[in-house]
């Protein structure tokens, strides 16, 4: 990855908040309930959903400690 691409990724990742992640997960849940994903896409979508949920849970646990 070039330095310019790495800087862009770092900038984007630092601007993503826990609230943003919660919204993303809500969008995934809504889209899933409406049948917007093909069966072949379930694994990819579910993996991202689980990763985001893990991050949210970690942050919530740390803030509760």
Q: What mean pLDDT is predicted for residues 41-64?
A: 91
Instruction: Provide the residue ranges of all domains of the chain, joining segments of one domain with +.
Output: 17-64
State mean pLDDT over 14-36: 91
HEC per residue, the chain:
CCHHHHHHHHHHHHCCCHHHHHHHHHHHHHHHHCCCCCHHHHHHHHHHHHHHHHHHHHHHHHHHC
pLDDT band at 3 (very low <50, low <70, confident <90, very high): low
Taking the C-alpha atoms of residue 23 and residue 20, their distance in angstroms, rounded to an integer, is 5
Query: Taking 90 as the threshold, does the pLDDT of residue 30 lie above it?
Result: yes
Nearest to 19 by CA among 64, 51, 60, 61: 60
The whole-model pTM stands at 0.70
How far is the C-alpha of 27 from the C-alpha of 31, rounded, in Å? Answer: 6
């Amino acid at each position: 990855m070039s330095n310019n691409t790495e800087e862009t990724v770092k900038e984007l990742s630092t601007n993503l908040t826990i609230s943003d992640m919660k919204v993303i997960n809500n969008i995934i849940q809504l889209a899933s309930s409406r049948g917007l994903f093909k069966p072949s896409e379930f694994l990819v979508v579910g993996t991202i959903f689980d990763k985001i949920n893990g991050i949210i849970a970690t942050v919530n646990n740390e803030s509760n400690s």
